[in-house]
Amino acid sequence: MRLQGRIVSLRAVEPRDVERLYEWENDVEIWAVSGTTEPFSRAQMERFVERQMEGADLLRTGQLRLMIDVRHTDGAEENEAGAKEADGANGTSEANGENGTSEANGENGTSEACGAEENEAGGTAGNADGDAAGNADGDAAGNADGDTAGNVDGDTVGGGAFRTAGCIDLFEYDPLNRRAGIGILIYGAENRRKGYAREALGILCRYAREQLRLHQLWCTVGAGNAASLALFRQAGFVETGVRRDWLWSPEGFRDEILLQKILDI
């Protein structure tokens, strides 16, 4: 099953994603925003993927990871989307990032969320979007997964070919209060500023509201991550709090911004 947008679709994690997740989670360029502090093994990634494939992982562990696939185009459509994304996109990564994926995220992250075993997987996503959203800036290395920007990941849907450009997570799912954290990673410079993070975020917000019946989503972003802040604000997230001197970096401590989006209004 895919949650389909114009140039982006979200799908469940598959066994073929183990290697790309292993690469993403161990990319030290992302660690600053994902909150990761130690390497992940392939065995950890395999266990994470197995748990996600068992289904109902959101209820069992509080985390749901979806892979972001992008449709191959002649480039014009993607460039147009990127121009509208505002700069922003480089933010993602942080975004949650600080809450990130693995929360895995460090702070909370995407996987962040939850905990250890979640963490196992998660570093990345959460915040990571390198591009925009989340935590990580995604810049990271290349394409992860060996996919080069022009190569197809092997998936075809409706006659269109897709390649995997990142992932997006819900974490710290709270069914009683109907809320969850969100983090996103767009991996590789070749995938940035093309509108992928913005569209993926919109798709997941609709899914959270219409299918999961969530009342709100939240994320945390480093105060200096202008791109991620722009991404989430454009998606309707509103700044509701600041944690002073919350995040340490070699340059010193910095603030972290909490943003929330109320879905059912």
- The string of DSSP codes covering 74-99 is -SHHHHHHHHHTTTGGGGHHHHTBTB
Q: Take residue 121 and report the two structure tokens written for it.
A: 């997987």
State the pLDDT at residue 73.
64
State the pLDDT at residue 155.
55
What is the per-residue pLDDT across 89-140, written as a single tens digit (0 to 9) for each?
A: 333 333 333 333 343 333 333 333 322 233 333 334 344 333 333 333 333 3
Q: Name the one residue in this structure whose structure tokens are 């996503």.
A: 125
Containing structural domain, residue 153: 2-262
CB neighbours (10 Å) of residue 213? 11
Q: Take residue 178 and report the two structure tokens written for it.
A: 């109907």
Number of structural domains in the chain: 1
Q: Which pTM value belongs to this model?
A: 0.72
Alpha-carbon span 170 to 117, nearest angstrom: 15
Q: Take residue 40 and report the two structure tokens written for it.
A: 């992940």
**Residue 96, domain CATH:** 3.40.630.30
Cβ atoms 105, 111 nearer than 8 A: yes
Which candidate, 124, 142, 143, places its Cα nearest to that of 134?
124
Which candidate, 1, 28, 216, places its Cα nearest to that of 140?
28
Which residues of the chain, if any, have pLDDT below 50? 74, 76-78, 80-154, 156-159
